[in-house]
Amino acid sequence: MNAPLPTQNTPSGGTERSAPRYSKGPNLVDRIKSKLSLDKYLEPIMELKKGGKGELVGKCNMHDDKTASLHVNTELGVYHCKGCGESGNVIQMHAFIHNLSYEDAKKDLGRQLGVYTDKVLDNGEAILARAANLYAGQLQRKENALEYLKSRGLNQDTIERFGIGFCWGREYMDLTPKQQDMALQAGLMKEDSKKSWLAGRIVFPVREKNGRIVGFGGRLVPSDNYVPTGPKYMNTPETAYFKKSELLYGLYEASGGISRAGRAIVVEGYMDVAMLHQTGVNNAVAAMGAQATENAFKLLWSVTKNIVFCLDGDKAGVTGGMRSVMAAAPTMPDGGMISIATMPAGVDPDEYVIEHGQSAFDAHCDQAVPLAKYLMDSKVNDFDLASPEGRAGLIKAAQELGATFNSAPIVAEQLEEEARALCASALVESTLRRMELPAVLDQRDVEMAIGLLQKLVSDVPRQTGRERIAAIRRQTLSARRPAGA
Are 223 and 148 in contact, with CB atoms under 8 Å apart? yes
Q: Which is nearer to Zn ion, 81 or 214 (CB)?
A: 81
Q: Which is nearer to Zn ion, 83 or 330 (CB)?
A: 83
Stretch that binds Zn ion, among 79-87, 100-108, 183-191, 468-476 (CB under 5 A): 79-87
Stretch that binds Zn ion, among 76-84, 197-205, 222-230, 462-470 (CB under 5 A): 76-84
Q: Which is nearer to Zn ion, 60 or 273 (CB)?
A: 60
Does position 356 interact with Zn ion (CB under 5 A)? The reply is no
Residues 80 to 109 in contact with Zn ion, rule: CB under 5 A? 81, 83-84
349 vs 313: CA distance, rounded Å: 10
Q: Which is nearer to Zn ion, 57 or 159 (CB)?
A: 57
CB of 303 to Zn ion, least distance (A): 19
Stretch that binds Zn ion, among 54-62, 105-113, 283-291, 372-380 (CB under 5 A): 54-62
470 vs 466: CA distance, rounded Å: 6
Residues 273 to 332 in contact with Zn ion, rule: CB under 5 A? none
- For every residue of 404-457, DSSP letters joined together read TTTT-HHHHHHHHHHHHHHHHHHHHHHHHHHTTHHHHS-HHHHHHHHHHHHHHH
Q: Which is nearer to Zn ion, 88 or 321 (CB)?
A: 88
Those residues with Cβ within 8 angstroms of residue 211's Cβ, 6 or more apart along the chain or in another chain: 98, 100, 108, 112, 252
CB of 71 to Zn ion, least distance (A): 10
Does position 259 interact with Zn ion (CB under 5 A)? The reply is no
CB of 154 to Zn ion, least distance (A): 35
The angle at the Cα of 235, spanning 232 to 239, to the nearest 5 degrees, equals: 160
Q: Which is nearer to Zn ion, 62 or 251 (CB)?
A: 62
451 vs 194: CA distance, rounded Å: 65
CB of 83 to Zn ion, least distance (A): 4
134 vs 48: CA distance, rounded Å: 35
Stretch that binds Zn ion, among 59-67, 99-107, 323-331, 351-359 (CB under 5 A): 59-67
Does position 78 interact with Zn ion (CB under 5 A)? The reply is no
Q: Which is nearer to Zn ion, 63 or 190 (CB)?
A: 63
Are 382 and 396 in contact, with CB atoms under 8 Å apart? no
Are 406 and 426 in contact, with CB atoms under 8 Å apart? no
Alpha helices for 124-186 (secondary structure H): 124-139, 143-151, 156-161, 177-185
CB of 80 to Zn ion, least distance (A): 9
- For every residue of 329-348, DSSP letters joined together read GGGPPTT-EEEEEEPPTT--
Among 28, 60, 338, 410, binds Zn ion (CB under 5 A): 60
- Give the total of residues touching Zn ion (CB under 5 A): 6
Which strands, in side-by-side order, build the sheet including 337-342? 248-249, 284-287, 264-267, 306-311, 337-342, 369-370
CB of 63 to Zn ion, least distance (A): 4
CB of 255 to Zn ion, least distance (A): 18
Are 244 and 235 in contact, with CB atoms under 8 Å apart? yes
Q: Which residues pair with 286 in a beta bridge?
A: 249, 267
Site map for Zn ion, 5-44, x if CB under 5 A? ----------------------------------------
CB of 85 to Zn ion, least distance (A): 7
107: amino acid identity, one letter: K
Q: Which is nearer to Zn ion, 96 or 168 (CB)?
A: 96
Does position 62 interact with Zn ion (CB under 5 A)? The reply is yes
Among 9, 34, 55, 63, binds Zn ion (CB under 5 A): 63
CB of 87 to Zn ion, least distance (A): 9
Q: Which residues pair with 166 in a beta bridge?
A: 202
Does position 379 interact with Zn ion (CB under 5 A)? The reply is no
61 vs 47: CA distance, rounded Å: 11
Are 171 and 214 in contact, with CB atoms under 8 Å apart? no
Q: Which is nearer to Zn ion, 67 or 295 (CB)?
A: 67
Alpha helices for 227-378 (secondary structure H): 251-261, 270-278, 294-301, 315-328, 349-356, 358-366, 371-377
Binding region for Zn ion (CB under 5 A): 60, 62-63, 81, 83-84
